Every structure is written in structure tokens, then in C-alpha cells.
Amino acid sequence: MVVARRGPRFDPPRRRYALITVWPLAAMLLAPRAFAQRVRPLDPLTPRETQLAQRLARADARVRDLIGNRRSVTGSVDFVALKPEPPDSFPVRSAVVEFYVYDGDYGVRALVDFRRQAVTEVDRIDREPIPFATEEIVTAKRLAMQDTSVRQKLGAEAERFRVDWLGVTARDEHDPCFKHRCLQLLFSRRVRGRDLYLTRPAVVVDLTTQTVRREEP
């Protein structure tokens, strides 16, 4: 506004300066939506950050050392706000990437600091659950639906069932899922306007061995 009033008295170079400096200010004032999209310190991870965290973690030498050539999966990428130093400054925007390693039944955790664009800590995780990855759920459902005995149990309308899942935490060393990555599947369909669970079949998918087990009394 000031520039506009004084504009006529500006010589051409001054006008150029004015345009150069006023443009960003005007853009900021006129496009609040664009600035509102700036990620704030405690906002959830953006898809770009999630991808970056996975990429940095997978590429880290310590992570590669711990995983080696063993089959693994990215279990989760979570946002973590680390406490800053000094304490009254802004939280340190970070991500925790957790991998599950099938051969050995353990996890690997990497801390990614977005400010430094680097992996700052790597740990092996034992006796702590690692979340299931979407790809594992997809695999479990595919294996189950390819299993002849499961399909027979579900009948001709097998495809109409919604498949839910629960993790299996086995404490008994005689349990086939002991130290394995297992999912239990539940089959439901809409009946009388409600999603109801079918009693049978009881299906456990062992993702470590890629096998399907039907558990019947």
C-alpha cells in the first residue's frame, strides 16, 4: 500500500526494488492457505516424510548390518517429537522406523532426525512387538484365500467375506507360532445389516513359513 502511494515518485530502479520486495509479502498475505500448509513441529508425518524416513533408515549401514540378508519388512514409521536442547526450544521432529526380521524373530529400530536428514540411533529390539505391515496383511489374506480347505469352508461365496486379522502372540514353545510372525484371520459378512463374524474356519497364517493352518477343535 505504501509503495502504491509513493510509487509515482519512484524512479524505475526503485520501482523494481519495490516489486521485488512487495511481491513476496503480498503473496504471503493473499495466499494464507499455502502458508497454513507448512508442517508444524507436532503435526503428523507427511507422506513425503514417511518415505524419506524409510529411505534413510533402509540405507543406513547400521540398519543394514543388523538386518543383513535376512528377510525383513518395515513394520511401522511413526512420528516422534523428541525433546529439544535447550528445553524451551521447539520439539525435534523425528520418525521411528521399525523393521521386523523374520529369520531370528527380532526387530530393528532406527531414529530419523528430519532436521539433520539423518539416522541418529539404531537398536536391535527383542521381546517387544513390531506392528504388522500392510503388505503382511495382504499376504496373509492372499495365502488364506488360496488355501483350498479355507475356500471350501467359506463356500461358494468366499469372496463376499471381509477378512479381519489379529496378531498371534505365542508364549508356548510348542506352539507353531512360537518365535514366528503369525496372524489369525476372522471372516465376517453383512447379515441383517450388521457385520457378523463366522465361527469357522479358524485360520492362522504363519508369515515366517508362508503357510496356512486351519485350527478346528
Partner 1 sequence: MSVARWFVMTSASAIAVLIAGPATAQQLCSNPFFVQQSFPTAGPTETTWRLCWDSTPGWGLIIRFAEFRKSPTSPFVRLFWDAYVSEIFVPYHSGWPRYTDLSYGFPLTTVSTADCPGTTGGTVLAGKVCKVVRDRGVAWKKDAQVRRGQELVLWGAVGAANYNYIIEWAFRDDGVVVGRFGATGQNLSWDDMDTVPHMHNAIWRLDIDLNGCCPNSVHQGIHHENLPGLTATDFDTIIPTETGLEWKPLAFHSLNVYSPTLHNSLGHLSSYHLIPLPSGVARHAEPWTQEDFWVTRYHWSERRPENLPSYISPPENISSADIVVWYMGSLHHHPRDEDGQFINVLGGRYWYGEAHVMWTGFMLKPNDLFDGTPLFP
Q: Which residues bind partner 1 (CB under 8 A)?
A: 13-14, 17, 20-22, 24-25, 28, 36-44, 75-76, 78-83, 87-88, 90-91, 96, 109, 111, 121, 123, 127-133, 155, 157, 164-172, 175, 184, 186, 189, 191-192, 194, 196-202, 215, 217
CB 70 within 8 A of CB 103: yes
CB-nearer residue toward partner 1: 5 or 83: 83
CB-nearer residue toward partner 1: 45 or 67: 45
| Shortest spacing between CB 69 and partner 1, in angstroms | 25
| Shortest spacing between CB 192 and partner 1, in angstroms | 8
| Shortest spacing between CB 193 and partner 1, in angstroms | 11
| Shortest spacing between CB 157 and partner 1, in angstroms | 8
Q: Hunting for cell 499376504 — which residue is that?
A: 139
Distances (CA, A) of 100 to 43, 133, 141, 206: 26, 9, 19, 14
Tell the burial category of 94 from Cβ atoms under 10 Å away from its Cβ (0-12, 13-18, 19+): buried
CB-nearer residue toward partner 1: 68 or 84: 84
CB-nearer residue toward partner 1: 68 or 91: 91
Cis, peptide link before residue 86, omega less than 30° from 0:
yes
| Shortest spacing between CB 119 and partner 1, in angstroms | 14
CA triple 138-144-147, angle to 5 deg:
140
CB 93 within 8 A of CB 111: no
CB-nearer residue toward partner 1: 69 or 92: 92
| Beta bridge pairs of residue 164 | 186
For residues 131 and 190, give the distance between their C-alpha atoms in angstroms, rounded to a whole number. 28
| Shortest spacing between CB 207 and partner 1, in angstroms | 13
Q: Which residues contact 84 (CB under 8 A, 6 or more apart)?
A: 90, 91, 92
Helix (H) or strand (E) holding 103: none
CB-nearer residue toward partner 1: 69 or 196: 196
